[in-house]
Chain A
Amino acid sequence: MHRNFLTLAAAAGLAHAAVDFNREVRPILSDNCFACHGPDEKQRMADLRLDTREGLFATRQGVAVVTPGSASQSRLYQRITHEKKPMLMPPAATGRTLNARQIAVVRQWIDEGAKWDMHWSYAPPRRPEPPVAKSPVWARNAIDQFVLARLEKEGLRPAAEASRETLIRRLSLDLTGLPPTPAEVDAFAADKTPQAYEKVVDRLLASRHYGERMAMQWLDLARYADTHGYHIDSHRDMWPWRDWVIGAFNNNLPFDKFTLWQIAGDLLPGATREQKLATGFNRNHMINYEGGAIPEEYLVEYVVDRVETTSMVWLGMTMGCARCHDHKYDPISQRDFYRFFAFFNTVNEKGLDGQFGNAAPMLPLPSVQQETELAEVKAALASREERMKKFDLKALVADWERDHVSRLQPARRDGLTAHYEFDGNLADSSGRYAHGKASKGEPSYGLGASGRALDLDGDTQLSLPGAGAFERGKPFSLALWVRSGNGKDGAILERTESAATRRGWELWYDDLEVLLGRKRESNLHFRISHDLASGDTLHIRTRRRMDYGRLNHIAIASDGSGQASGLNLYVDGKPVAFEVLADNWRGTGAAEAPVAIGSKALRRPFKGRLDDVRFYSRALDATDAAALAGGEAIRAIADTPAAKRNREQTDRLRDAYIAQAAPEELRTLDREITQLKARQAELDKQILNAMVMGEMESKPRDTFMLARGDYRNKGDKVTAETPSALPPLPKDAPRNRLGLAQWLLDPDHPLTSRVTVNRFWQHYFGAGLARTSENLGSQGEPPTHPELLDWLASEFVRTGWDVRAMQKLIVMSATYRQSSAAPASLAERDPENRLLARGPRFRLPAELVRDNALASSGLLNAHVGGPSVYPYQPPGLWEELAYGDGFTAQNYVESKGADLYRRSLYTFWKRTSPPAQMAAFDAPDREKCISRRQTTNTPLQALILMNDPTYVESARKLAERTLTEAGKDPAMRLRHAFRLATARRPDARESRLLLDLWKQRIAHFRTDRDAAAKLIAVGDSKAGAQFDAAELAAWTTVASVILNLDETITKE
């Protein structure tokens, strides 16, 4: 242990070099002392502050907290080494203790004169001169000078440059997220010019996949997802914003514009669509639509999320702590928090939203064509509505009602065998006394087409004994009003004898197709059977889908022929076309069962409204149907006093007047307006939109301090301002998001540039120069190469925030080009590669693990952008958690064909059930902003790579590709497959090992062809017919092994 301690101390350079306050002392004080002696005023003990210069060097009761030059005369040192337990700091109750080394550091620092400096990240970055190393030959750019100087100080030397195969794979994965093709590898290997490497870099930086790769990290930061996240977690459309991000990187939008547009693009004078779309960044937070949730509570949560996200992304700071109290470690007061909050608190949004797709404010994104058409429709509508004004419609309807409605003929009652008006009871008013009865639950009644109507909740069950005994050879009709509450394959009415034969008849709406938004349409079915199983049945379905969510009048009439040709179907009094699905009814169809309503016997129970159900022993004709749908209802409405009519009734009366009695001009106008409105609605539905920021126009919301962060505890009113410990907002800057963005982008801002280049570094090296990329504050880790970080930050600003140039600078460095193979001694001495004496080696991020397999095998669909897709996922993962019918994104419907093989960043991201195979590889759930992913290593990952159809199919495609492209020699085939996945050739041992496996497997599959056939059938794509199944299966197993290698899923 003693030896270890020395080694560590020596390695850390502590024992000899002077202690650096910011790098070594402040973290100790912050972690152990600031919680009680830091910025949080309310928690501060003994009125002692250790986070400020004044506090540290104050003299209290005659003794200095810190006496520079003398630890023993410093109260701080005395207390952290006190012999008496109750006096020892930190107190035992905090659970924190200082170890010997930390105490030694503090002692050395004081003894050396206690040099104090403000926290490194709050001072503007200087531009340090790159140090000149003793052996400068290695260095290619300034990055290397900093790295090399540090290595020399440690007595280390950089690693050799990685092989060309490794380099091009590393570059390709880092800059595009896709592996290089063998041709690209060969070209690079063959290029002997000095610019060979740079040419590859430039090619990759110009690739359209560069934007995708860069976007991946930004999507984590932006907590981008395709659902709202809370509770019901229904679908949203933010992919246009995601595509904007990809485009912004591809077009190398400078980071200042990239920032400004996302924070405040909507506030720019004459903001373009693109600038507005960019503000979707701060709308990607979770949104709630839980019934019963309290809107004010969630309005606060949304703004808090914006504060937390914006501060983490641009300030590398976790301001969230200050929501409830002053920050315990960083100089962010609770007041600072709410002043920052005020920037984001005036969005024109609702507390509960997102029930159907996006939540306001939204930006419509019509295509040029849609835009033109919409304008035309609106103009046409306006002109018609103008012309409509000359008619006093209300008076006209009233006159008509007075003069004509009362004289309307009632529908004929002959042949009426049962009639249920549902006016608060189940009585049959046909005179035949076939009264209905409740077999389960109690029915309830609402306002109907005429009088009251029956409302069913899906649980109440009724039967109508004696009604609806339809038989072949006898004419019959059925008429009713219906509005379905779910349209999910629920029987409306049925009279069936048994589930086996289904003898009798059924009327139902079929399953609604899963569509975006509030689409409520399905087809209506009627079927009458003698024995369904043997095909003795007559079955029709409406040709067009109907809006099942409105009250429809339906009449079905049969002439007694028992054939489809003798059937008529009327909807709202008009004949409608239907498809004949079966026309082979031969038996009787007379079921020994009552008419059932709300039954669960065969389908989901009906939920919704029924009214005026009638059964006839004759075939209704068009006049009957029109009278039932029109006249009867109109008469009933007219019986209701005008003041008591509901909207539906008023509209129905008005429609009837227009249809039956209005002057031609009015009738035409009305028809045109209806059509135009329908077209407008259709267009509105088709036109994509995205959620964006938008200010409240009239009365912007006030911001108050909230005690303990609770929306109910309003305190002082505050206005928008930046944190007081950071440079102030310029006097002339607007106190809104625009001003905030300008403030962030001030070249002297201490954080924006540092935080950003640090994250770029993390992209390449797996960890930032300051490893806690989400937190560069007091509790974050100090950078391993502070001067390099500052130099890069200043370089970023100097180049006009040129993102692509910064990527190029990093990958052009010799530091980046080092081999990641480490001698055991180095791996032991610096396991996390903090000193950068070797190249980065990290398991690929979740998206790339899959993309690499798809690309190697040739399955990848490289299309850029567009709506998110649904690749393979085991069935039921969503449904087991889902809310159920009526909301979007509750059922996972797998994509078909090419969409199964899109890049992983296009996978539909449901927050409450993130894509399983990506979650297993540490992809975040996207509920909150994430700056740094973790990298774990679990058996679940092994199971996915071995057994997930994505990888089994990829292995088979990789095998097919090999068999097609690499000739007949097994060794050449193996080499090709291996290169496709890893970019390098296997060495002799590796080849032998894999070929042995191949020999074993092919021998096996030749004896078990069935197994071979099964293996190569995995996946949606079909195996080429030209391949021998045993051979393809054997190569599939070899390819699967290759796709499972650590090397394959690792960037080396």
Chain B
Amino acid sequence: MFDPHANALFHTRRQLFSRASKGIGLAALGSLVNQDLFAASSGDESRDPKTGGLASLPHHTVRAKRVIFLHMSGGPSQIETFDHKPALEKYHGTELPSSIRNNQRITGMTSGQASFPVVKSLFKFQRHGKSGASISELLPHTARIADDIAIIKSVHTDAINHDPAITFIQSGSQQPGRPSMGAWASYGLGSENQNLPSYVVLLSQAHGLNVDQPLFSRLWGPGFLPSRYQGVRLRGSAEPVLYLQDPPGIDRTARRGMLDAVQKMNRMRHDAYHDPEIETRIEQYEMAYRMQTSVPDLMDLSKEPEHIFDLYGPESRKPGSYGANCLLARRLIERNVRFVQLYHRGWDQHNDLPRDIGLQCRGTDQPTAALVTDLKQRGLLDDTLIVWGGEFGRTVYCQGKLMETNYGRDHHPRNFAMWMAGGGIKPGMTLGETDDYSYNVVENPVHVHDIQATILHCMGIDHKRLTYKYQGRYFRLTDVHGEVVKQVLA
């Protein structure tokens, strides 16, 4: 039994590890953490030599080995998608009762409005699947997978504006500085893949016309965790990983020759200095070399059959699009990448909501459903968790002028809809209920920290026990909150 403190003092993990791994040839990329060779602060825990994850993990049975988080950035309206409110037909155009609003704070964008007229959804809902889930006509493809997903209509958050809200759902804190969810997963569980990052980020641009939502690299940042746990952005461009391509005039033979020279020189240096960092660097260069093949192979969709493109929709042939990114997410999952974070921009519909949510749904609905279907038909859905949702919902009252065919909705943190599917999740159910105005949760509230706790739970992690000591304090994704949402667990 080692004292972690003494351990770090006289026998750092990196040393133990570099010995353990010699000959295995594992290496680490950014979030790829086959080995934790970081000169850790004291208190660092011992690690699994195969994955580089914490040896103390998993805490319990793993239901989801991998996660895909489909983040709809901007805050999709629950009222137009999953939270059917027939009573709004009756209330349409009337003032939001103060008994419903209950003095809750609203954003600076509508706090000056003289009137808060209630708006019904322009779109129709129907019940779908055996579960009879109520889903809007905007999401016909999602409707077809109703029996595969668990819809939670009662999610609520603490933040009311984008920056804090999106930072909160990704990192558990409204203010910058904390690790993102994927970074926690990478830190805790390490990687099952030797050639790709364990935490990959894919960005796709909006389909709607109003795109006034920025994103921030902190959303997939490592916070105070070592920077290798940060998400690695895979871009739809010629260079999916930055600087992946050899410079013009350097072919693979040349690269190998140069690399061999670097490696031999570094090996000689190691013999003189015995610095384990040199060994690590040698391994990192090999990994970089392998990535130059593995990443293009990952990105190459040319061998995907026609019916797959049909499944994901026409956009899936366009690199960087949401459709292509969904397909890419499946390929990443097939390669055992731990955490895929996919962002889709443009859900912030303060005005022209009917038009823009229509466009957004048209652009995302089919690929999203295709991803679930595709994973299912490959038997991967059983141990992959898919999460869909934004950072908050939208108000039942109209922002701007209410017209017959046009309206807007402001940010609404008090309830919104998300869904989860796959590993560990009970398929075909709906959880939570909101009031007639979709303004307050009336049954089974689920806080963002609860969602986070549940995601970690599915991955075999007790969210209260995955901690990291920084500035003297033990931090965790869920801060001091969060309860696993047992009702949605299979």
Contact B269 A940 (CB under 8 A): no
Contact B285 A1045 (CB under 8 A): no
Contact B242 A772 (CB under 8 A): no
Contact B249 A832 (CB under 8 A): no
Interface 0/1 of B321-345, CB less than 8 Å to A? 0000000000000000000000000
Which chain A positions have C-beta within 8 A of B318? none
Which of the 9-residue segments A97-105, A485-493, A513-521, A575-583 touches chain B? A97-105
The docked-state distance in angstroms from the alpha carbon of A829 to that of B11 is 7
Which chain B positions have C-beta within 8 A of A775? 471-472
Residue of B nearest to A104 (CB): B3
Which chain B positions have C-beta within 8 A of A293? 107-108, 161, 163
Is B38 part of the binding interface, using a Cβ–Cβ cutoff of 8 Å?
yes
Q: Which single member of A829, A941, A1050 contacts B284 (CB below 8 Å)?
A: A941
Are A329 and B472 also in contact (CB < 8 A) when A841-B273, A947-B244 are?
Answer: yes
Residue of B nearest to A8 (CB): B6
B201 to chain A, nearest CB (A): 11
Contact A1015 B265 (CB under 8 A): no
Which chain B positions have C-beta within 8 A of A920? 30, 227, 242
Which chain B positions have C-beta within 8 A of A997? 257-258, 261
A67 to chain B, nearest CB (A): 25
Q: Would you call the interface of chain B mostly helix, strand, loop, or mixed?
A: loop
Which chain A positions have C-beta within 8 A of B281? 937, 942, 1046
Is A414 part of the binding interface, using a Cβ–Cβ cutoff of 8 Å?
no
Which of the 9-residue segments B211-219, B301-309, B369-377, B427-435 touches chain A? B211-219
Which chain B positions have C-beta within 8 A of A834? 9
Contact B288 A936 (CB under 8 A): no
Tell me the residues in window 279-304 of chain B with beta carbons closer than 8 Å to chain A beta carbons.
Answer: 280-281, 284-285, 287-289, 291-292
Is A831 part of the binding interface, using a Cβ–Cβ cutoff of 8 Å?
yes
Which chain B positions have C-beta within 8 A of A922? 227
Contact A294 B232 (CB under 8 A): no
Contact A938 B228 (CB under 8 A): yes
Residue of B nearest to A881 (CB): B215
A174 to chain B, nearest CB (A): 18
Q: How many residues of A contact B (CB 8 A)?
A: 128
Tell me the residues in window 306-353 of chain A with beta carbons closer than 8 Å to chain B beta carbons.
Answer: 312, 318, 320-321, 328-330, 352
Are A937 and B284 also in contact (CB < 8 A) when A927-B176, A927-B177, A1014-B249 are?
Answer: yes
Is A1004 part of the binding interface, using a Cβ–Cβ cutoff of 8 Å?
yes
Contact B105 A294 (CB under 8 A): yes
Interface 0/1 of A1009-1052, CB less than 8 Å to B? 01111111110000000000000010001001100111100101
Which of the 9-residue segments A134-142, A225-233, A746-754 touches chain B? A225-233
Residue of B nearest to A321 (CB): B473
Is B310 part of the binding interface, using a Cβ–Cβ cutoff of 8 Å?
no
Residue of B nearest to A937 (CB): B280
Which of the 9-residue segments B81-89, B123-131, B233-241 touches chain A? B233-241
Contact A939 B29 (CB under 8 A): yes
Is B21 part of the binding interface, using a Cβ–Cβ cutoff of 8 Å?
no
Residue of A nearest to B262 (CB): A1044
Residue of B nearest to A30 (CB): B472
B70 to chain A, nearest CB (A): 17
Most buried by B among A822, A884, A1041: A1041
Is A27 part of the binding interface, using a Cβ–Cβ cutoff of 8 Å?
yes
Most buried by A among B212, B241, B246, B275: B275
B344 to chain A, nearest CB (A): 13
Contact A1012 B249 (CB under 8 A): yes
Contact A231 B162 (CB under 8 A): yes
Which of the 9-residue segments A272-280, A363-371, A911-919 touches chain B? A911-919
Is A1001 part of the binding interface, using a Cβ–Cβ cutoff of 8 Å?
yes
Contact B27 A1041 (CB under 8 A): no
Contact A948 B243 (CB under 8 A): yes
Interface 0/1 of B353-390, CB less than 8 Å to A? 00100000000000000000000000000000000000
Contact A884 B107 (CB under 8 A): no
Tell me the residues in window 22-37 of chain B with beta carbons closer than 8 Å to chain A beta carbons.
Answer: 27-30, 32, 37
Q: Which single member of A841, A927, A1037 contacts B254 (CB below 8 Å)?
A: A1037
Contact B257 A291 (CB under 8 A): no
Contact B242 A944 (CB under 8 A): yes
Residue of A nearest to B36 (CB): A936
Contact B214 A231 (CB under 8 A): yes
Is B58 part of the binding interface, using a Cβ–Cβ cutoff of 8 Å?
no
Contact A876 B235 (CB under 8 A): yes
The docked-state distance in angstroms from the alpha carbon of A202 to that of B288 is 42
Is B41 part of the binding interface, using a Cβ–Cβ cutoff of 8 Å?
yes
Contact A229 B176 (CB under 8 A): yes
Is A372 part of the binding interface, using a Cβ–Cβ cutoff of 8 Å?
no
Is B20 part of the binding interface, using a Cβ–Cβ cutoff of 8 Å?
no
Contact A772 B280 (CB under 8 A): no
Contact B218 A925 (CB under 8 A): yes
B4 to chain A, nearest CB (A): 8
Q: Which single member of B42, B243, B472 contacts A947 (CB below 8 Å)?
A: B243
Contact B275 A841 (CB under 8 A): yes
Is A301 part of the binding interface, using a Cβ–Cβ cutoff of 8 Å?
yes
Contact A1001 B163 (CB under 8 A): no
Tell me the residues in window 983-1001 of chain A with beta carbons closer than 8 Å to chain B beta carbons.
Answer: 989-990, 993-994, 997, 1000-1001
Tell me the residues in window 5-23 of chain B with beta carbons closer than 8 Å to chain A beta carbons.
Answer: 5-12, 14-15
The docked-state distance in angstroms from the alpha carbon of A939 to that of B30 is 7
Is B100 part of the binding interface, using a Cβ–Cβ cutoff of 8 Å?
no
Are A779 and B242 also in contact (CB < 8 A) when A990-B265, A1047-B269 are?
Answer: no
The docked-state distance in angstroms from the alpha carbon of A777 to that of B9 is 19
Which chain A positions have C-beta within 8 A of B251? 1011
Is B442 part of the binding interface, using a Cβ–Cβ cutoff of 8 Å?
no
Which chain A positions have C-beta within 8 A of B221? 925
Is A843 part of the binding interface, using a Cβ–Cβ cutoff of 8 Å?
yes
Most buried by B among A5, A318, A942: A942
Is A390 part of the binding interface, using a Cβ–Cβ cutoff of 8 Å?
no
The docked-state distance in angstroms from the alpha carbon of A295 to that of B105 is 13
Is A465 part of the binding interface, using a Cβ–Cβ cutoff of 8 Å?
no
Q: Which single member of B254, B273, B285, B467 contacts A822 (CB below 8 Å)?
A: B273
Q: Which single member of B11, B215, B403 contacts A8 (CB below 8 Å)?
A: B11
Is B278 part of the binding interface, using a Cβ–Cβ cutoff of 8 Å?
yes
B175 to chain A, nearest CB (A): 7
Is A398 part of the binding interface, using a Cβ–Cβ cutoff of 8 Å?
no
The docked-state distance in angstroms from the alpha carbon of A826 to that of B235 is 45
B56 to chain A, nearest CB (A): 10
Is B114 part of the binding interface, using a Cβ–Cβ cutoff of 8 Å?
no
B94 to chain A, nearest CB (A): 24
Q: Which single member of A290, A320, A352, A1015 contacts B250 (CB below 8 Å)?
A: A1015
The docked-state distance in angstroms from the alpha carbon of A11 to that of B253 is 49
Most buried by A among B110, B160, B217, B247: B247
Contact B176 A1015 (CB under 8 A): no
Is A288 part of the binding interface, using a Cβ–Cβ cutoff of 8 Å?
yes
Contact B284 A938 (CB under 8 A): yes
A221 to chain B, nearest CB (A): 14
Which chain A positions have C-beta within 8 A of B7? 8
B480 to chain A, nearest CB (A): 9
Tell me the residues in window 160-196 of chain B with beta carbons closer than 8 Å to chain A beta carbons.
Answer: 160-163, 175-177
Q: Which single member of B213, B217, B471 contacts A912 (CB below 8 Å)?
A: B217
Are A1001 and B254 also in contact (CB < 8 A) when A286-B176, A934-B226, A1012-B249 are?
Answer: yes
Tell me the residues in window 457-483 of chain B with beta carbons closer than 8 Å to chain A beta carbons.
Answer: 464-465, 467, 469, 471-473
Most buried by A among B162, B250, B257, B272: B250
Q: Which single member of A318, A328, A882, A1040 contacts B214 (CB below 8 Å)?
A: A882
Q: Which single member of A99, A288, A824, A944 contacts B274 (CB below 8 Å)?
A: A824
Are A952 and B247 also in contact (CB < 8 A) when A290-B162, A318-B471 are?
Answer: yes
Contact A11 B473 (CB under 8 A): no
Are A942 and B473 also in contact (CB < 8 A) when A8-B6, A830-B10 are?
Answer: no
Is B109 part of the binding interface, using a Cβ–Cβ cutoff of 8 Å?
yes
Give 13 pairs: A residue, B residue, CB < 8 Å, sorted on A: A5-B2, A99-B3, A291-B108, A292-B410, A293-B163, A779-B472, A820-B273, A831-B15, A920-B227, A920-B242, A939-B291, A946-B255, A1018-B248
